[in-house]
Structure 1
Amino acid sequence: MRKGLTFLPAIALAAALALPGVVNAAPHANSVVATVNGEDITLGHMIIAHEALPQQYKQLPPDVLYKAILDQLIQQTALKQELHGEVPAHVQLTVDNEMRTLLAQEVVQNVMEKAATEEKIRATYDETYATGEGSDEFNASHILVESEAEAAEIKKELDAGADFATLAKARSTGPSGPNGGELGWFGLGQMVPEFETAVLDLSNGEVSEPVQTQFGWHVILLTERRKTEAPEYEVVREQISNALRQSAVESHVDALTTKADILRPEIEDLSPEIIKDLSLIRN
């Protein structure tokens, strides 16, 4: 009798485990969490949907999010089934672009990971700072004016022996004018590109030709150039890593596009404005 008593619960348990909707295996990406008219929704779909949520929604309790995401996926599946497999052109084009972007990002991520290994970062650091010195720093002054003609006139006066600080105080429209145009010490990347390029071409005590930037026209005096001490590895590690990643991606993209068979057919009467015409992709 005792064997029979233990046997019946065993059968009941086996039957329960065999019931539809009861999953035996550990959950994985392909685990089906719902089926709508024969179309499966998997745990993987839910994970991707959760990942795409704004950060504030991710703060909600997991049980609330699980139900909300699954309900939404079920509703969306039921809605899209009304199209009976037909995909509007604008939807397919959006999917194509999104797929292209995601796959391209996958390749870029792989390239970046291979480019910025700890070994390569350390090797780049050792090579860059082998002398124990860091990057260049500059001590410069400038006179800022509105026109090239005025800048050229100032340069002529300086070449004739005029005092730079005196002219800066009298003529410069920049905030450093009252201080004789002094900018103090600055490093690479701290000035706009045109200004930095001009400074790099100067020797100590030399005055530049007129230089145009977004702020106006400059006449620049380089007072002194010096090297900083080499930074500690951890201070510049991320900077080196980012530079290696960017360089590797640019090189990879250039190599791929150079090797690729790319055709750009001429389309008659094609105006750039046509990219705004949504009517072309509406069914």
Structure 2
Amino acid sequence: MLKSATILAAGLFAVTSTAALAEDPTAQTVVATVNGTDITLGELIVARSQLPAQYQQLPAEVLWEGLVDQLVQQQLLADQLDAIPDRVQIALDVQLRSMLAGEVITDITDAAVTEETLQAAYEARFANAAPEYEFNASHILVETEEEAAAVIVRLNDGADFAETAREISTGPSGPNGGELGWFGAGMMVPEFEAAVVGLEVGAISEPVQTQFGWHVVKLNDSRIKEAPGLDQVRDELVAQIQQEALESALADLQESAEISLPEDGAFDPAILNNLDLLDE
């Protein structure tokens, strides 16, 4: 909630705020003061960035007063503690470690991605890669091997493949003459793909059994698959470069660091569920 349901009477608390539009504000610019504790513009900006998604849609002028009220009320409540509870300090330590690590990750991954590293990653993946083929095939699907053999005899006697597929194929491509369009490696079940790869363009296969039934396959055409342009795979390459840079940096850090880890069995993993330890 942006505002507490409780209305705080301004006269009961020492709360001050800026009255005029601040000139050249920075993250350290004081927006309000509660009993001597400053609330800064930077804190407001962070608070706004952490709002639930539905509030992120609202314009800043709608959010301003509510955010100021929220931080003022939080400070009033926080002031009631004489010391930071252990569980809160532990949570702060964990959050701080995570945020600092995130800053370093950003530095590492941003520095790793340049046009030069992108081009090198692109060439490593595609420049010397073995050519990949794509195939254009049609098939006629029937229930038994005998039916498939009879289809082959019919085709060898001069029957048109597409017309035969429309007439007897039980597959969803039947009404389209059995045409499957273009496909690459791994897009068809292994038995079907193996039959296609073994055909010459224009040839018809022997009966091929798959989990769907028995197929008679015709290879209509084949071609070498063109490598995608760099811009088409840019996001993928960026992610690859960043991941590799981070893994390399972590490996270097771990190699040069002094790290002590618990021995196997030193802790029962179920202890992770014991929240009561945070209050001891």
Report the TM-score, using the length of structure 2 for normalisation: 0.60
Report the Cα offset of residue 271 of structure 1: 1.2
2-structure distance, mates of 1:263, 1:226? 56
| Residue of structure 2 equivalent to 1:151 | none
1:237 aligns with 2:205: no
Structure 1, residues 130-181: CA drift from partner, whole Å, max 9, x if none? 35x6874688xxxxxxxxxxxxxxxxxxxxxxxxx99xxxxxxxxx9xxxxx
| Residue of structure 2 equivalent to 1:96 | 93
- Give the direction of change, closer, same or farther, for the CA distance of 1:130–1:63 in structure 2 (3 Å limit): same
**Which of 47, 68, 72 is residue 74 of structure 1 equivalent to?**
72
Give runs of aligned pairs for residues 1-283 of structure 1, distance below 5 A. 21=18, 25-84=23-82, 86-131=83-128, 136=132, 185-186=183-184, 228-266=225-263, 270-283=267-280
2-structure distance, mates of 1:256, 1:137? 43
5+ residue gaps, structure 2, are: 1-16, 136-147, 150-170, 172-179, 191-196, 199-221
2-structure distance, mates of 1:30, 1:70? 15
2-structure distance, mates of 1:104, 1:269? 27
Q: Secondary structure at the match of 1:270?
A: coil
1-structure distance, mates of 2:70, 2:24? 24
Letter in 2 for 1:261: E
* Percent identity for Structure 1 against Structure 2: 36
Letter in 1 for 2:100: L
Higher helix share: 1
The answer to whether the 8 A contact 1:137-1:227 is kept is: yes
Report the Cα offset of residue 115 of structure 1: 1.1
Q: Secondary structure at the match of 1:82?
A: coil
- Give the direction of change, closer, same or farther, for the CA distance of 1:28–1:127 in structure 2 (3 Å limit): same
1-structure distance, mates of 2:78, 2:272? 28
Q: Secondary structure at the match of 2:79?
A: helix
Q: Secondary structure at the match of 1:111?
A: helix
The answer to whether the 8 A contact 2:32-2:38 is kept is: yes
Report the Cα offset of residue 235 of structure 1: 0.7
Report the Cα offset of residue 126 of structure 1: 3.5
The answer to whether the 8 A contact 1:134-1:227 is kept is: no
Q: Secondary structure at the match of 1:34?
A: strand
2-structure distance, mates of 1:127, 1:270? 45
2-structure distance, mates of 1:268, 1:125? 45
Structure 1, residues 248-278: CA drift from partner, whole Å, max 9, x if none? 1111112212221111244986311111111
- Give the direction of change, closer, same or farther, for the CA distance of 1:45–1:88 in structure 2 (3 Å limit): same
Letter in 1 for 2:42: G
2-structure distance, mates of 1:185, 1:229? 13
Q: Secondary structure at the match of 1:77?
A: helix
2-structure distance, mates of 1:128, 1:266? 41
Report the TM-score, using the length of structure 1 for normalisation: 0.60
